[in-house]
Amino acid sequence: MKCIVQSRLPETGWLGDTPQRDYAGKLRLFNAFARPELREAIDALPMPAGSCVLDAGCGTGEALGWWHASMRGRGMVVGMDLAAAHVEAAHGLASARASIVQGDMLGPPFADGAFDLVWAVNAVNHLGDPIAGVRTLSKLLRQGGRIAVGQSSLVPDMYFAWDARLEARVNEAVRAYYRERYGRSERDFTAVRSLAGWLAGAGLRDVRVHTRMIERTHPLAETDERYLLECIFRGTWGERLRKYLDPQDFEELGWLCDPGDERYALRRPDFHFLQSLTFAVGTRQAATDTRAGDRQAGGKIRRGGNLNRVARSTHLP
């Protein structure tokens, strides 16, 4: 189902996201790579038939199909993203039964209480104030509904089993690059480790965290090699790190990242890669006056099967 539901869209997000920005290619590669661990995380949150799930910051929309499969097609899945190109890509991928809208996590075009679960992977950290983001998204939950915020470790925290000294230099160079590119402090970037704190700070209860390891060894599947080569070696490292590394380290990194070189890391028999994927799950507090909460949800959930159930009526075309 193709829906155009407009909400107020911000011009530039904390990590440079805009409605016009497009990194759909990277998102597709990441989702193909981390698919086993992401699907496992989805299946670990079983939802009863008829549930409504929102994927906030859905990117290219892979998780929408995984949620459908996990609910065996007996629920409703809605994707929302800021970037027009990502929304378009998600339309191309998602089943006809998923609804995808362009919208802002900080001003979502949905009724309070409309969803049973909000799922947001690598998305809340794109907001300048993640706690405000979690609080806003939590309002979309019915009483007792849950929010699952997922975060993979950022590039400087990944682990590659090669020379640990070089790895430390490369990680520091990536940090320096990000500090300069986004004008953020070191503290800002390490704040993504505070998932549980974000949920607690936003007033959720029963906050639980669970970390899975995305672990890959030789020989790599094609999806793994493509992600590591395209997104990390070329898209994140490459030429942009030259100015932050001493020439010998930069040259050594170049050999490790070059598929044409015999020292190419992704063909090494001892290749070993680790990246963490943490989920914090919390439950929306029951309101003191639950009848008021029910009225606020407006009876828009659990009946019918389309976006009208969840959208704020004022935003529908």
Long-range contacts, stretch 29-33, CB < 8 angstroms, 24+ apart:
29/223, 29/226, 29/227, 29/230, 29/231, 30/152, 30/227, 30/231, 31/59, 31/60, 31/62, 31/63, 32/62, 32/223, 32/226, 32/227, 33/214, 33/223, 33/224, 33/226, 33/227, 33/228
| Residue 121, SS3 per DSSP | strand
Nearer to ligand SAM, 131 or 161 (CB): 131
Asked if residue 57 binds ligand SAM (CB under 6 A), the reply is: yes
The residue from 81, 116, 224, 252 that contacts ligand SAM (CB under 6 A) is 81
- Beta carbon of residue 251, minimum distance to ligand SAM (angstroms, whole number): 31
Task: Write the DSSP assignment of 249-267 as a string of letters.
Answer: HHHHHHHHT-TTSTT-GGG
Asked if residue 122 binds ligand SAM (CB under 6 A), the reply is: yes
Stretch that binds ligand SAM, among 75-83, 173-181, 201-209, 215-223 (CB under 6 A): 75-83
Stretch that binds ligand SAM, among 10-18, 42-50, 206-214, 306-314 (CB under 6 A): 10-18
In this structure, the number of other CB atoms found within 10 A of the CB of residue 34 comes to 23
- Beta carbon of residue 179, minimum distance to ligand SAM (angstroms, whole number): 19
Nearer to ligand SAM, 122 or 278 (CB): 122
Half-sphere exposure of 238 (CA within 13 A, CB side): 9
The residue from 7, 29, 30, 153 that contacts ligand SAM (CB under 6 A) is 30
Nearer to ligand SAM, 54 or 241 (CB): 54
The residue from 37, 104, 225, 252 that contacts ligand SAM (CB under 6 A) is 104
- Beta carbon of residue 242, minimum distance to ligand SAM (angstroms, whole number): 25
Stretch that binds ligand SAM, among 39-47, 103-111, 264-272, 293-301 (CB under 6 A): 103-111
Scan for tokens 């300069």, then name that residue: 180
Sequence letter at residue 251: E
- Beta carbon of residue 78, minimum distance to ligand SAM (angstroms, whole number): 13
Nearer to ligand SAM, 50 or 65 (CB): 65
- Smallest CA-to-CA distance from 70 within 92, 30, 40, 96 is with 40
How many chain residues interact with ligand SAM (CB under 6 A)?
Answer: 21
Stretch that binds ligand SAM, among 121-129, 136-144, 195-203, 260-268 (CB under 6 A): 121-129
Instruction: Assess contact for 100 and 77: CB atoms under 8 A.
Output: no
Quote the DSSP letter at residue 154. Answer: P
Asked if residue 13 binds ligand SAM (CB under 6 A), the reply is: yes
Nearer to ligand SAM, 64 or 245 (CB): 64
Q: What is the C-alpha to C-alpha distance for residues 67 and 74, in angstroms, rounded to an integer?
A: 10
CA distances to 11, 138, 173 from 199, in Å: 26, 9, 31
Asked if residue 17 binds ligand SAM (CB under 6 A), the reply is: yes
Asked if residue 83 binds ligand SAM (CB under 6 A), the reply is: yes
- Smallest CA-to-CA distance from 185 within 200, 175, 195 is with 175
The residue from 51, 54, 59, 279 that contacts ligand SAM (CB under 6 A) is 59
| Residue 312, SS3 per DSSP | coil
Q: Which residue(s) pair with 274 in the sheet?
A: 159, 215
Residues that bind ligand SAM (CB under 6 A): 10, 13, 17, 27, 30-31, 57-59, 81-83, 86, 104-106, 121-123, 126-127
